[in-house]
Amino acid sequence: MSILRAILSDDPPRGRPLALAMFVIFAGLALAPLLFPGMEALNVAAKICYFVVLAASYDLLLGYTGIISFAHTMFFGIGGYGAGLALYDFGPSWTSMLVGTGVALVVALALALVIGLFSLRVRALFFAMITLAVASAFSILASQLSSLTGGEDGRTFRLPVELRPGFHLSVGPLALGGQILAYYLVFFAALILFLLMLRAVNSPFGRVLQAIRENEFRAEAIGYRIAVYRSIASCLAAAAACLAGVLCAIWLRYTGPAVTLSFDIMLDILLMVVIGGMGTLYGAAIGATLFVLAETYLQSLMAAVSHATVGLPLLPLIFHPDRWLLWLGVLFVLSVYFFPAGIAGRLGARR
């Protein structure tokens, strides 16, 4: 138990319901290739993995520091384009992947630092507008530079041999395919990134960020340099979002503006953080898991309900699968109403 507490940075989930929810998510993702055969389920599990990292990195900004940024998908896209374009231009090798990831990290950190130094001294609303403008400009730039990025069509590339579907690795009685190895690369990388962010928010640095969130004037009066801490938090969140974009590109074997730079993704991660609970990385994990599952399976579930209620008045129309976005919005409103502190906040408060 002490080893587990150390791995979780002495911040295990508070309350048995929250601990059970996190265990179910971890076990489901770790055993996804065994429990849920088929590529559709594996795609959903991999998407949950890198969206957990993306949502947790945004919670590091919004929930722990109180920074409202709309440029988070820009760093997600930088990671996806960095790894994807390197694999596309220099060939499907581990060296290309690592070089692309390294270049993407440098670019993401530099942009986050510049945005922090020039913008974090202004008020929250103006900072949010500045980040929105920067993200929009980057998205337009990625679409216009078609000779480099592939424009709106993006780039499709190949992975190293060990991560391709045709590769097979025998480990005792188990035979692992390249697709399974790619999934576990995404899973373990996401797990390590999540634990590193958990370590950061439970360090003295993380406590200062929470103090800034609660009362930045008092924190500055104590002697903390607010702009410095906010800039560091922005760089950490940008680096995590960049690596989440790399994981997305590795799994999809594709990068493009629709899957990494769309403003819809920004809204999605905002919903994940709010639904799960701001100010707790466990909430980001729960919110990302529930949102991806609802986005993937809600339409199919509504189709089944619509067919089962054929012959009844109004119900087939109400549950028509084309209205799944309406019901997704309803579920979001209900979750905010019944869980004002987020699902993790409510579960963690119960004993």
Question: What CATH code is assigned to 2-349?
Answer: 1.10.3470
Assign 349 a pLDDT band (cuts: 50, 70, 90): low
- 121: pLDDT strictly greater than 70: no
Quote the pLDDT of residue 173: 64
Whether the CA torsion 264, 266, 269, 275 is positive or negative: it is negative
**CB of 253 closer than 8 Å to CB of 158:** yes
Here the tokens at position 121 are: 């001294």
Quote the pLDDT of residue 350: 52
Quote the pLDDT of residue 342: 83
154: left (phi over 0), alpha (psi -120 to 50) or beta: left
Quote the pLDDT of residue 282: 92
DSSP states along 260-296: HT-HHHHHHHHHHHHHH-TT-HHHHHHHHHHHHHHHH
Q: At 141, is the secondary structure helix, strand, or coil?
A: helix
Model pLDDT for residues 18-41, shown as the tens digit of each residue: 889 999 999 999 999 888 888 889
Assign 68 a pLDDT band (cuts: 50, 70, 90): confident
Based on DSSP, count helices (H) and strands (E) in the chain, helices before strands: 18, 4
User: Distance between alpha carbon 5 and the CA centroid of its chain, in Å?
Assistant: 24
Lowest mean pLDDT among 42-46, 86-90, 231-235, 309-313: 309-313
Quote the pLDDT of residue 77: 94
Quote the pLDDT of residue 8: 79
pLDDT (mean) for 38-45? 90
- 119: pLDDT strictly greater than 80: no
Quote the pLDDT of residue 52: 96
Quote the pLDDT of residue 148: 87
- 136: pLDDT strictly greater than 70: yes
Model pLDDT for residues 276-321, shown as the tens digit of each residue: 988 889 999 999 999 999 888 888 888 888 888 877 777 788 888 8
Model pLDDT for residues 256-266, shown as the tens digit of each residue: 998 988 888 99
Lowest mean pLDDT among 2-11, 205-214, 259-268: 2-11
**Mean pLDDT for the chain?**
87
- 1: pLDDT strictly greater than 70: no
How many degrees, rounded to 5, is the angle at CA 140 between CA 259 and CA 291? 30
**CB of 186 closer than 8 Å to CB of 201:** no
| Residues contacting residue 117 through CB under 8 Å, at least 6 positions apart | 227, 231
Percent of the chain scored above 90 by pLDDT?
40
Here the tokens at position 57 are: 């990195």
